[in-house]
Structure 1
Amino acid sequence: MTTVATGTGVGPLLRGWREQRKVSQLDLALRADSSARHISFIETGRSRPSEEMILRLAEHLDIPVRERNSLLLAAGYAPQYAQTALDDPSMAALREGIERLLTGYEPYPALVVDGTYTVVAANRGIAMLLDGVPEHLLAPPLNAMRLTLHPQGLAPKIRNLREWRGHLLHQMERQIALARSGPLRELYEEVAGYPVPDSGDPDDREDPHPYPYFALPLRIEHEGHVLSFISSISTFNTPMDVTVAELAIETFLPADPTTVKYLQSHAP
């Protein structure tokens, strides 16, 4: 995993992000309609960038919204992006839209998580998969990664656990490389250290399935039946709020007709 270089001003911070993205000063200058000389002066502190230049460079370096505020503060400017709590009245339309989306996806599972995988909303499809999970793992704040990989959580029910665990850890590694997040790194170290429970054949080789998969499935047991899902993650386009920028909607598409039939027969 990559760690971004830090410093006392905006220059070292921008240099750290540029190096992490593996972009040269010349390439960044061409993208941002500037010059390599100017980029060098900004990074060394010889030139103070304008707000517009900071935001332009941040856009071309794909810097997360939260960190763009940090860059502006380091340069002596006010943050440009608010961080509004989801229960704020101004977020009513967003909350209602998310609820409609999750309810409309039933009986298939869907949930919404924040930047550290804390579950902020989930539908009844998710609730069904959580049958039998100990109460201490369901106590708020519910964390999707902890719940999935904990040896007392969903892990013993996942038939292809080693594959799915590898997928989730790799996903977290990519996020840590994209955004500096101490809490996310701590969560990664916690869940990566969980023992992998012995739930039969770890690679699912002795449980052949009749349907070809077009992506890595989550194969999970529920009341003696093996259900298969393909996961899809969506985020909001061009977010103007830190909270919204860090939300992710994950939907689980049934990967075979058997799973579709089972879920429809168990729909409330």
Structure 2
Amino acid sequence: MSGEASEAITFQVTDAVPGVRYAAPMTEFPSTLKTWRAARRMSQLQLAVEAEVSSRHISFLETGRARPSREMIGRLGEALQMPLDARNQMLVTAGFAPRYQQRRWQADEMAPVREAVAHMLDNHAPYPGLAVDRLWSVLRMNASARLLYGPLGLTEGGSLLDLLVSDHVPDVIENWPEVAHHAARRLRIESAAQGGVARLDAVAEHLAQVPLPADRSLAPVVPTILRAGGMRLALFATIAQFGTPEDLLLDDLKVELYFPADPESGEALRALAKVCG
């Protein structure tokens, strides 16, 4: 099969892009590949099948006896379902320039994406919705979300992670232990999918310290029950992501749409929107 050389190789950076930061030593490629394969719980044979190469070649790549091509790294990234940022790092460790950019949210090229997100969020009113990045920083909120989260200190540009570890949140979330438990689980899943994110892991560990009640809910979905300003709102969320991202920001961007978990919460949100609209 193509690219299955076995000779020892010397790495050097090729097709370098001005202004791009190369963050990892190139000699780390074999350990990077092994780490991701272990994280996905795949044997060398399983990875070889998914990447359409021989298990012998995977072994040579992991021992440094063979050098991967850019095309091979792309196939490995697909087979291992690696996030785009990790694929960039794997390219760097093999001596290549990163492939994927991270554009600014306000960049001209992102205008269609911003419009799509705004459409989803604005048409979701009077229910709250927001868009968050990899570290749960809020890129955009609809009017209902601003009404709901503004009193808690969360605005566009703010961090949901900071809100989760703040002291006053347990006072306004009626079922905080359950919410904290599920938030910790989601953070761990997202961190694992990205190969480990220290900030997500730290917040997950913090939330995991909240003791769970003995009589946990057996409902189909655990809502977040907010009590504020004399209102009681029970909400659950759906999460949407872009299906074909080629940008680091879009690879991690999530649109969270909240729905009422009971008729009373729906009525309260509609009434609140009318009063403040």
Do the two structures share a fold, i.e. TM-score over 0.5? yes
1:32: how far off? 1.3
Distance in 2 (alpha carbons) for counterparts of 1:166 and 1:195: 6
1:147 partnered with 2:160: no
How do residues 184-203 of structure 1 correspond to structure 2 at under 5 angstroms? 184-186=197-199, 188-190=201-203, 192-193=205-206, 203=213
Q: How many residues align?
A: 249
The one of 20, 41, 51 equivalent to 1:22 is 41
The one of 230, 254, 274 equivalent to 1:248 is 254
Equivalent position amino acid for 2:178 in 1: E
Equivalent position amino acid for 2:252 in 1: E
Give the CA RMSD over aligned residues.
Answer: 2.6
CA contact (8 A) 2:91 2:97 kept: yes
Gaps of 5+ in 1: 1-5
Cross-structure match for 2:268: 262
1:155: how far off? 2.9
Cross-structure match for 1:81: 100
Distance in 2 (alpha carbons) for counterparts of 1:173 and 1:27: 25
The one of 131, 146, 164 equivalent to 1:112 is 131
1:70 partnered with 2:85: no
* Secondary structure of the structure 2 residue equivalent to 1:9: helix
The one of 190, 198, 211 equivalent to 1:175 is 190
Percent identity of equivalent pairs: 32
Residues 1:107 and 1:161: Cα distance change in structure 2 (over 3 Å): same
1:106: how far off? 0.8
Residues 1:265 and 1:196: Cα distance change in structure 2 (over 3 Å): farther
1:51 partnered with 2:70: yes
Cross-structure match for 1:236: 242
Equivalent position amino acid for 1:227 in 2: L
Distance in 2 (alpha carbons) for counterparts of 1:107 and 1:8: 53
Distance in 1 (alpha carbons) for counterparts of 2:148 and 2:122: 16
Distance in 2 (alpha carbons) for counterparts of 1:214 and 1:150: 28
Residues 1:99 and 1:204: Cα distance change in structure 2 (over 3 Å): farther
1:127 partnered with 2:133: no
Cross-structure match for 2:118: 99
CA contact (8 A) 1:149 1:165 kept: no
CA contact (8 A) 1:146 1:191 kept: no
Distance in 2 (alpha carbons) for counterparts of 1:222 and 1:48: 59
Distance in 1 (alpha carbons) for counterparts of 2:201 and 2:29: 28
Once the two structures are superposed, residues 245-265 of structure 1 have per-residue CA deviations (whole angstroms, 9 ceiling, x without a partner) of 011111111111111111111
Equivalent position amino acid for 2:230 in 1: G
CA contact (8 A) 1:149 1:191 kept: no
Q: Give the TM-score normalised by structure 2.
A: 0.82
* Secondary structure of the structure 2 residue equivalent to 1:105: coil
Equivalent position amino acid for 1:16 in 2: T
* Secondary structure of the structure 1 residue equivalent to 2:48: helix
Equivalent position amino acid for 1:259 in 2: S
Structure 1 runs of 4+ with >3 Å offset: 137-141, 190-197, 202-205
Equivalent position amino acid for 2:121 in 1: L
Cross-structure match for 1:3: none
Q: Give the TM-score normalised by structure 1.
A: 0.84
